[in-house]
Amino acid sequence: MKIPQLRLFFLLFIFSNSIAKKSLKRYRLLLPVFKDEITGQYITQMYQRTPIVPVNLTVDLGGRFLWMDCDNGYISSSYKHVPCGSKPCKLSGSQGCYGASCPVPPRPGCNNHTCAHIPYNPINRTSTDGELAEDVIALWSTNYNGSIMGHLLASPSGVMFSCSDDLMLHKLAYGVKGMAGLGSGYTGLPSQIARAFYLPRKFAICLSADTISNGVILFGEGRQSVYASNEVQSYTPLLKNPVSTAGAYYPGEPSVEYFIGVEKILVNGKIVPIDSKLLAINKTTGVGGTKISTVVPYGTMETSIYKAFKHEFLKAIDEDPIAEPIRPFELCFNMSNLGTSTGLSTPQVSLVLQGDRNNTNWDLSMDNLMASPVASSGLLCLGFLDGGENSQTSIVLGGLQIEENLLEFDLVKKRMGFYKNPMLKRCNFLS
């Protein structure tokens, strides 16, 4: 993986090891994000440890916590393990504890009588038990006018994370040392960063669609710092799933992934006929509903939803030639045989979402709907896949669906904000 050069303002910094509560009200904190050209994973670079070092991490929007490999080259004088039975251990939801089997002297990742957690890699679907620890982190600062301040701010106290071994890094992008979990729970990075830096429990994310320009994760207050305050932002409630949807978790854990309420799917204004029960979250089993994910490259739909959606989609563009699909796609079009200068004419696909008062539409642009397979430059494929008849979540909006969209997650008001103006559906406010 070739790590693209971050913009100049990311390269110039003044390191600060103290934070004043009042001063933080003037700015937010930032993590740059880029798309790996080989795996398509979204990678961020966080600064951590003493002395401070950059650490590359795969972004997991619904991940329960930050985890990383502690077995190889983890050196830090500010590393601290979280003791069993301590308040942080209890608040983290841990139900495990290391005994007295670690070597003497202890090392990062293996300390006796330490709180344990279960890091999970959703890319290769593996998990392990890991020591819960904390260490200082540092993030780039940005003021409320949207400009980059050009220096790093270090947390005055440690931020919790789980250690893993290097086997957990399998299938992650080259050079990545773990995953940055942005889930809504106590140990998720948004809540931890809010506590450590005295910020509101709010963050925004904008993922770049290409491997050249940067995306961003912003922690703290204010869409006004990104766009003019008179731009209209729509909101939809964040829904609670009482059953964990993670690949590894403790019994009784709720999900910390971000679920939204899709009421209907429209194709050129026509309602796609689907079983509305699938769009709701079963409060007993946790099955159903719609979530947003950064570790799934393309959206998925439960089989009956996908078939109905695909049928309406094809009806709307039945004059365009269908081609033999390339995995993982199931519906592709041959652009070279269209015989038009304008290319594929895709229908307008809209998700009708629950709103604060009335329903609101999230219109998917063509870039969020169609994908070009790497193996062929002449095909354009539908960026939703069949998720299976027994899928745990009925609709998953993947990376393709949210690229170049600024999404704001307010964990206090329990809502997600997005912009309906197509001109604002870009991450180029960093330029």
pLDDT digits (tens, 9 = 90+) for 129-141: 999 999 999 999 8
Of residues 414 and 422, the one with the higher pLDDT is 414
> In whole angstroms, how far apart are CA 283 and each of 92, 259, 289?
23, 13, 11
> CB within 8 A of 358, min separation 6: which ones?
none
> Which amino acid makes up residue 38?
I
Task: Using pLDDT thresholds of 50, 70 and 90, give the confidence band for residue 104.
Answer: confident
Cis peptide before 51 (omega within 30 of 0): yes
State how far Cα 302 lies from the chain centre.
21
Q: Which two tokens stand for residue 142?
A: 């940005």
Give the pLDDT of residue 72.
93
Give the pLDDT of residue 123.
96
> Which amino acid makes up residue 424?
L
Report d(CA 273, CA 281) in Å as an integer.
19
Report d(CA 421, CA 402) in Å as an integer.
14
Give the pLDDT of residue 346.
87
Judged by average pLDDT, the poorest of 229-233, 391-395, 408-412 is: 229-233
Token look-up 């709180």 returns 115
Give the pLDDT of residue 100.
76
Give the pLDDT of residue 10.
38
Report d(CA 265, CA 384) in Å as an integer.
13
Residues 233-282: tens digit of each pLDDT: 799 999 999 999 999 999 999 999 999 999 999 999 999 999 999 999 99
pLDDT at 355 over 90: no
pLDDT at 91 over 70: yes
Burial readout 148-163 (b: 16 or more C-beta within 10 A, e: otherwise):
bbeebbbbeebbbbbb
Report d(CA 196, CA 189) in Å as an integer.
10
Residues facing residue 219 across a β-bridge: 29, 203
Task: Using pLDDT thresholds of 50, 70 and 90, give the confidence band for residue 229.
Answer: very low
> CB within 8 A of 239, min separation 6: which ones?
259, 260, 261, 281, 289
Angle at 58 between CA 53 and CA 61, to 5 degrees: 120
Of residues 2 and 163, the one with the higher pLDDT is 163
Residues in the chain: 431
> Which amino acid makes up residue 388?
G
> CB within 8 A of 374, min separation 6: which ones?
none
Judged by average pLDDT, the poorest of 168-177, 286-295, 417-426 is: 417-426
Among residues 330, 316, 255, which one has the least CA distance to residue 290? 255
Give the pLDDT of residue 13.
38
Give the pLDDT of residue 9.
34
Among residues 234, 232, 282, which one has the least CA distance to residue 259? 282
SS3 category, 282? coil
Whole-number average pLDDT of the chain: 87
- How much is the average pLDDT of 400-416? 95
Contact 17, 154 (CB under 8 A): yes
Q: Which two tokens stand for residue 170?
A: 């399998």
State how far Cα 328 lies from the chain centre.
21
